[in-house]
Structure 1
Amino acid sequence: MTQALSAPPRERSARQPAAKAERARRRWTGILVLAALLVVVVVLSIVFGTKSLTLAQVWHGVWNPSGTEGDVIVRNLRLPRTALAVTAGVALGVAGALMQGHTRNPIADPVLLGVSAGAGLFVTGGIFLLGVTTLYGYVWFGFLGAMLASVVVYLVSTFSKGGATPVTLALAGAAVHALFTALTAGVVIFDQQALDVYRFWTVGSVSGRTLELTFQMLPFVAVGLLLAAVNAPGLNALSLGEDVARALGVRIGLTRFTGMAAITLLTGVAVAACGPIGFVGLMATHIGRSFTGPDYRWVLGYAALLGAILMLGADILGRLVARPGELPVGIMLAFIGAPLFISLVRRRKPVRL
């Protein structure tokens, strides 16, 4: 019986710093491995497509362009879609982690809070009411719609009984999603052009965009990532329960608002630019959490890198499996993400956040 007793307090206290250092070392090693993998995937994205290029052609197109066919493919097609996929993947990965943390829902995605529906409504509304015909017009209207949906969800949940809780956020998001989806359906019934654009946009794609669009996204993504980093410690406290968080001195209202602001910026700009791409935040968060544990200060970093890798990897696969054409990244992510979703449902012990 004596052998079954735990180690003395002094021995346990001596082991704790070593265990903490080992855990931090593993986490940093994982970050470095993911960063290296992202670099590899970026190179593969520039090399492979409908027309494969050699590394020499890629190097020439990036650093010494002279107008050859390879240079045009690299600079006008591959680099813009690669940059957009990485930027949107980082944004969706971090937003997915924040959504799951604040709603305490392990399958949270942009649909849950009505963000995708808000962007879709404003895209079709801009075409139907104002005659918007440019890609940049679609993106900015989509971003405004995503922001409006997030604000409505947050206000509805805040003024409900008990304030903005995981349950009220999820319920308000479901209601906003249903309302905006119905309004979008009403618009596309009456306007063929809006229907055509909506069908293309709702699939989810990173092709046909320019580097200028990614540069326009970067300030919003940067602010969203900063807010997410500020939000991580408070989210760790909230995961222990609101009563414990209050006892630790966390301002719950401010923490919820900061998280929703980060989700709005990150999800809104990604959905507006690429369409309602699903499963990125879901997969990146769950994979990252399996390595880091529940600490959101690490989960967010892993989710950002994994989101970029998954987004870009799915785009590469979409170009290769349907040569000489391609499958949009949204379709490829659905093929990849559906089995993961099924595995989550079949778990004996559901994920608890």
Structure 2
Amino acid sequence: MSFSILAIVIYSHTGEQRVVPFHRHGLNIITGKSKTGKSAIIDIVDYCLGRGSYNVAEGAIRKKVAWFGLHLGKGSDEVFIARDNPGPGASTGSKVYFQRGDLENYPRLDVIAKNTTESSLKEFITRFAGISENEHRPQTGTRPPLEADIAHALWLCFQKQNTIASQDQLFHRMNEQFLPQALKDTLPFFLGAVDESHFLLMGELDELQKKLRLLEAAEAKQIQVIEISRNRVTRVINEGKKVGLISQDYQAVDDTVFAFLSVVAQTSVEAPELVSDFGETIERLRGEQITIQGRLMELNQDIRAARAFLSDQTDYSREATEQRARLKSIEISKESRQRLNAPSVTPYWRRPCRKSKKSANR
């Protein structure tokens, strides 16, 4: 999983080229004065290798450069990639130029034009680097499966100055959200702890799980059909018990019920007895029903009238009692008048004693 950067090519707006060549093998060291663009090399290479965002610092490079080019080599295979400079204040570019084959001279600015997309470029660079198809499947959480590509590999290749000096950051861009977890997921693949055989087995596992799901669905459908059939058999047996063809203590416990029902089906049944005046009987019963319903309505009306009368009597008694209590409080009720008009009666012990004639003669 490797390739070499053979050169960085920078195009100005007037078509001039600035080429920074590298040795195919060995260590390449770039030196120069401060503020000459050395720190932007990592951002330029990262951008040309498929990164979505353009992170070159504001300054002369954003103003003077039209296209960035990258010459890659892997054995005898060579690739030239160029991406446009979106300009000051922009966050990404939309134009990608791709050329594969031996390069005697780098293409001129008037030849460079968009001929591929950013996603296609990223997919090609991933395969060009030797990164085979892979997939990490989290065992827990809600994270979707993740496939290692060239972007994950570059985290292990780039080291900016501030990353080297940091005490809390070991790899490139690990201070960005979600990237540390992505590195944890893809690192076993880059270290060789997970090889292609693992992914072949994972593919076989997917196929087996798919077949398992199909078998489970077929089994569930079969169970549903069996349950429907069992309900039908139960209804037939209950109907047979109602008409006396099957004894009340019979229970269907296994498949022998079908043979039993076959025997029951062959049992002869007497012809039904026909009633000649069946229609007249119905008419007579309907007439009796209407008469009974009319009588019932009359009784209900009598009950409602009795209840209304009882309610009125109760209201009258309550009102009379209340008025009587009011008159009694001021002593003008009937009982009070009778008491006032009654003659006075002298008690017998206060009456004068009458002497008999015999006593008077004495």
TM bucket (normalised to shorter chain) is: under 0.3
Larger CA Rg, structure 1 vs 2: 2
Larger RCO (CA under 8 A, 6+ residues apart): 1
Answer 1 or 2: which has greater helix percent: 1
Which protein is richer in strand relative to its size? 2
Q: TM-score normalised to the size of structure 1?
A: 0.20
